[in-house]
Structure 1
Amino acid sequence: MNKFTIQKVLISIFTLSLYSLTAIAGDKQSDANSNDRDNHAGKVVRMSNEIAIQNDISATTVLAREIAVKATLYGRISADPASLSHIRARFDGVIKDVKVNIGDSVNKGDILAVVESNESLKSYSITSPFDGNVIARHANNGELSNGQVLFSLANYKNVWAQLTVFSQMLSRIKVGQSVDLSHAGFNQTSKIAYITPSADGNPHSLANVSIDNSTGYWPLGTLVKAQVTTSTKTVKHAVPLSAVQEYEAKQVVFVVEGDDYTPRAVELGVSDGRYIEVISGLETGERVVASNSYMIKADLEKSEAGHDH
């Protein structure tokens, strides 16, 4: 095998490698309505379908879509007033037997204490009004009930997010709107149940959102972030947010035509965190890279760096 033949074999092996992406930064014949308008004429990554599959690079079709317009609010987790109870004796008397302590779990109807009535001298039971936990105890054997709070019970399986709504936002925030809540990697979707003025007299309102806290992941006092869907907008062209990259100081997507992946500058509009409106730069039916688009960008930049040297 001569030197020329060896070189041809090596070139063929390199070209057929399933793990290489070949960027072509040279001249490329293209439609004047596409490449010329975004100043990326001649820039393209050529890649087989097999390589795209191995690198989890997928494409999607540009279509019309309804995008949720959202407002960001912040607030804190508070107790549900209906899940907090301060329990007194029905009739004054002597506390004969205390059955629970702070931290104990109780079910509805469980006996908390036994009291002997001063009037009838008969004993009666104080029972739990709902399932929950004892968070305070002010009762000991032999003491007089005397109308005081003997126990405090709480059930934190349902809590509230109280979101701060400043005056400039009030016209957009309404009862019934969907809310995506998050903190420390935990997420939950709920709705605004009601809106109230601030209890401390500050110039803002509170949007109250009920939260299922059966997991215990939403403790009282936790600061939460909320994305409130205030309206929806039907846009002519939308792409996944993951399709957009910054390339040569522009927002671009990579248009897929056969084995060619070409950067296309786009003007962007509203986003709902998953999809984003494309105001100009794309047409309905075109296909763009939807996942791992950063790999196409990286290959273009690597190729250009090589040409610089």
Structure 2
Amino acid sequence: MIRMHRTLPYLLVLWLAAANTVTLAEHEHDEEDGDENREIHLSDKLAKAIDIKTDTAQSQVLHRTITSFGTLQLGADQLSHVRARFPGMLRSVSVDVGDRVSAGDVMAEVESDSSLKNYTLEAPISGTIIQRHANRGESAREQILFTIASYDQLWAELRIYPEQLDRVSAGLTAHIVAQGRELISSVSHVIPVIDKPYKIARVSVNNSVASLSPGLMVEGHIVLDEDAVALAVHNSALQKVDEQLGVFVKDHDHYRFTPVLTGRADDRYTEILQGLKANDVYVFHNSYVLKAELEKSTAGHSH
């Protein structure tokens, strides 16, 4: 076995900071299996410095999807404009823009012009006050005094073009990606749009935790069918070295390039038929760094 000591040239600053040496080891031909096993020795400290990330090979569900884009919108029943029931004068206002209210909360008190009796304006829905046009002593007529919006649920409105229409229907699972978050829901219905060449697939999005905003652009992945596979890795883990497709498998502080035979794939995972076993730890982020250094080591050794 020939060992060669070298740094990662384009990450030299990080290498110096970590005060480590990267050892590349290219193993000689193995007469039993005919493979060339290549290893890179990398301390955990340096691996962290160059942002090497690993995952565990395991079973996955592959999804055949179509991708669509759209925006988040409020539903019609999630926006309420509050007016005075009878003309009168505002005697008190108890809420302001940004306040959260529950259905039934008192927002203002109005003295009726006709009866001279006071009555209360109550919140018709739970949500956030996003507009206020009401002050004590002002006249309340037909104008909107308060606008309340409920953001706990939003709708992703995805554009579905003619070539996709025959494959998209209500009930299909949909993965909505917004601001780095992925939310799983389903298509509620597909509706036509006046004077547009596409239809809209509306997907309910639980926003009670995500705190997303209406108008935000989103990416939707609508699942057409699913396949469970026994073993899969992230697509980003796959690298080709000397015309062999494989992944870097981590064993303590060694990263071994391991050829694999692949099967089915979706936009996130690829099925592994041969080369790995369940629970193998492999590099899925920045594996190209290991590939580049391994290839340079091999080229240097060949000279």
TM exceeding 0.5: yes
- Of residues 210, 213, 219, the one that matches 1:219 is 213
- CA apart distance, 1:85: 0.6
Matched AA of 2:83: R
Please tell me whether the aligned partners of residues 55 and 282 of structure 2 are also in contact (alpha carbons under 8 angstroms): yes
Answer yes or no: is the 8 Å Cα contact 2:89–2:113 preserved in 1.
Answer: no
Structure 2 equivalent of residue 5 of structure 1: none
1:240-279 matched pairs, under 5 angstroms: 240-248=234-242, 251-253=245-247, 261=256, 263-264=258-259, 266=261, 269-273=264-268, 275-278=269-272
Deviation string, structure 1 residues 231-250 (Cα, Å, up to 9, x no partner):
11245764443541132455
Change (3 A) 1:251 1:174: farther
Compute the displacement of 1:149 (Å): 3.0
- Determine the C-alpha separation between the residues in 2 that align with 1:69 and 1:226: 13
The DSSP-based 3-state class of the residue aligned with 1:175 is coil
Matched, 1:45 2:38: yes
From the superposition, tell whether residues 99 and 251 of structure 1 become closer, same or farther in structure 2 (CA, over 3 Å).
Answer: same
201, 207, 222: which one aligns with 2:201: 207
**How much is the aligned-residue C-alpha RMSD, in angstroms?**
4.1
Per-residue CA deviation, residues 86-143 of structure 1 (Å, 9 max, x unaligned), is: 12222x3212324056514142323223233344332211111133232233445342
Q: For structure 2, which runs of at least 5 residues remain unmatched after alignment?
A: 6-19
Cα displacement string for residues 202-253 of structure 1 (whole angstroms, at most 9, x for unaligned residues): 1212122222333564112111112222211245764443541132455334
Match of 2:282 in 1: 290
Distance 2:158 2:211 in 1: 18
Please give the alpha-carbon distance, in whole angstroms, between the structure 1 residues aligned to 2:241 and 2:164.
Answer: 35
Highest CA radius of gyration, 1 or 2? 1
Q: Distance in 1 between matches of 2:196 and 2:260?
A: 46
C-alpha contact (below 8 Å) 2:69/2:218 kept by paired residues: yes
Distance change >3 Å, CA 46–CA 172, structure 1 → 2? same
Secondary structure, in 3 states, of the residue corresponding to 1:29?
coil
TM-score, structure 2 as length reference: 0.71
* 1:20 and 2:12 correspond: no
Letter matched to residue 160 of structure 2: V
Question: What secondary structure sits across from 1:20 in the alignment?
Answer: strand
Against the structure 1 CA distance between its residues 102 and 203, is the aligned structure 2 distance closer, same or farther, given a 3 Å change threshold?
Answer: farther
Cα separation, 2, equivalents of 1:178 and 1:219: 22
1:236-271 deviations in whole A, cap 9, x for unaligned? 764443541132455334689xx9956536455422
Correspondence list, 1:32-71, <5 A: 43-45=36-38, 66-71=61-66
Distance 1:161 1:46, change over 3 A: closer
What is the number of equivalent residue pairs in this alignment? 277
Question: Residue type matched to 2:299 in 1?
Answer: A
State the Cα distance separating 1:79 from its structure 2 match: 1.4
Q: Give the match's secondary structure for 1:168.
A: helix
Distance 1:57 1:206, change over 3 A: closer
Cα distance change of structure 1 residues 27 and 127 upon mapping to structure 2, 3 Å threshold: closer
Corresponding residue number in structure 1 for 2:167: 172
Mapped to 1, the partners of 2:249 and 2:79 lie a distance apart of 58
Given that 2:101 and 2:129 are in contact with CA atoms closer than 8 Å, whether structure 1 keeps it comes out as no
Aligned CA distance change for structure 1 residues 162 and 296 (closer, same or farther; 3 Å): same
Query: In 1, are the aligned partners of 2:134 and 2:146 still within 8 Å (CA)?
Result: yes
The residue matched to 1:306 in structure 2 has which SS? Answer: helix
